[in-house]
Copies of this chain bind each other. A is one copy, B any other.
């Protein structure tokens, strides 16, 4: 998976928010805010599809696109990808993450702990 361009990110986010849409709908949405032709949107959708980030299915005449992956999982994979060249090792990654979260407020740290508990729980139930 390569790096995404600006428009690709916008389109991907749109599909996470809207579930399913065809090129025309996506274009309608973005033409107000940023212009660009329908063709540009089509080729962007196509590029995202080739990258495996969008699934599509022909419905009538137009493809219906939707995000191929869960957003959380995608962001997780993204973090992995961009950090692995710098810290293949988990300890360093965790430390970096917490250092990044240092300016988060107490509620967010609580939430992070809660998520850790959930994660443990889930794993324990599976095995």
Contacts and interface: CB of A to CB of B under 8 A. Distances in A.
A116 B115 contact: no
Nearest to A100: B76
Contact-size category for A: 35 or more
A43 interface: no
Copies of this chain in its oligomeric complex: 2
A101 interface: yes
B90 A71 contact: no
21 contacts: A71-B92, A73-B96, A74-B86, A75-B100, A76-B97, A76-B99, A77-B100, A79-B100, A80-B100, A82-B82, A90-B101, A90-B108, A94-B115, A97-B97, A98-B112, A98-B118, A101-B119, A102-B123, A109-B120, A112-B112, A113-B113
Given A9-B86, A75-B92, A112-B116, 14 more contacts: A71-B86, A71-B87, A71-B92, A72-B96, A73-B96, A76-B100, A77-B100, A78-B82, A80-B100, A94-B108, A94-B111, A94-B115, A97-B97, A98-B116
